[in-house]
Amino acid sequence: MQELVKITEQNGKQAVSARELHTFLESKQQFSNWIRNRIKKYGLIENQDYIVFNKFIKNLEGGRPLDEYALTLDCAKELAMVEGNLKCKQARQYFIECEKKLREVTQRQIGEVKDLKTIEAKIMVARFYLEVCSPNENSKLMLMHSIANPVGLDLPDYTTSKDVLRSASELLKINNIGMNTRQLNQLLLQEGILTENSRPSNSKAAKDGKSYFKTLTEKGLEYGENQSSIHNPKETQPLYYENKFMDLLKLLNLL
């Protein structure tokens, strides 16, 4: 967008020089008369619609230093609209575009601040989680991704596991096995791959004041790893090696 009238900043707000606007609009009136008439006719309020300051340059007409007027963007747009010549429409559209760009920048800055505050809050919680719960390396990486991914930050997708780890529900779906996770877990418990543990819980969903969760046994660790649950770090969540899952299904006579 071509700059028609320079827009600067006065007291933290965008401002337009009334003298430069007067020149662009090609008014036939002397500037001092033009601006005073506009202030009186349209009820412009000092320190709200405009501010006055002295510009200490040589006055070609002699006398005291020139008074300069800094107009708000809204005020400049209004004065451009009422000028009533060929330049007024061009100036009005220019100021509208400037306002649009200012809103876009402001909204983007607000969004960036919100994102930053969200990230800072997540990092504070993550630090507390890491200090108190001492999760394994894979859980740490999952936590890092949960913070970085929503804001478009890429992290290396590696783990210290022997192979890619996936949940039972994912692997059942990938391999088109016609059963759900609960049915699979029953077979794994019977085979000694899983064991059921419990912990005290005040949750309304808890049975007899306890929360129950599954853990891979020593025999089961051939087929996966116990990770900290993403729902509660005090519980484990069995995850299974992708390249070992078919062997596990064969062990259960499902293949």
**End-to-end distance of the chain based on CA atoms, in angstroms?**
68
pLDDT at 10: 62
Share of the chain above pLDDT 70, in %: 63
pLDDT at 180: 92
Higher pLDDT, 226 or 139: 226
pLDDT at 194: 93
Selection from 29-43, 55-69, 226-240 with the highest mean pLDDT: 29-43
The model's confidence at residue 110, banded by pLDDT at 50, 70 and 90, is: low
Going from the C-alpha of 12 to that of each of 8, 9, 72, 73, the distances in angstroms are 10, 6, 11, 13
Selection from 105-109, 132-136, 226-230 with the highest mean pLDDT: 226-230
pLDDT at 59: 47
Q: Work out the widest C-alpha separation in the chain, in whole angstroms.
A: 105
**Mean pLDDT estimate for the chain:** 76
Beta-carbon neighbour count of residue 176 at 10 Å? 6
Residue 133 has pLDDT above 70, yes or no: no
Residue 25 has pLDDT above 70, yes or no: yes
> Which strands, in side-by-side order, build the sheet including 50-55?
7-10, 13-17, 66-72, 50-55
For residues 52, 50, 94, 112, the Cα torsion angle rounded to the nearest 10 degrees is 110
Share of the chain above pLDDT 90, in %: 12
Q: What are phi and psi of 104, to 5 degrees?
A: -60, -45
Residue 164 has pLDDT above 70, yes or no: yes
Strand partners, 160: none
pLDDT at 247: 92
With H, G, I as helix, E, B as strand and everything else as coil, classify residue 75: helix
Q: What is the mean pLDDT of residues 27-31?
A: 87
Do 199 and 235 meet the contact criterion of CB atoms below 8 Å apart?
yes
Q: Which amino acid is at 44?
A: L
pLDDT at 187: 93
pLDDT per residue over 168-208, tens digit each?
A: 988 998 888 889 999 999 999 999 999 988 888 777 666 67
Selection from 78-92, 120-134, 219-233 with the highest mean pLDDT: 219-233
Higher pLDDT, 192 or 137: 192
Residue 115 has pLDDT above 90, yes or no: no
The model's confidence at residue 117, banded by pLDDT at 50, 70 and 90, is: low
pLDDT per residue over 62-107, tens digit each?
A: 555 677 888 888 888 888 888 777 677 777 677 777 767 766 665 6
pLDDT at 191: 93
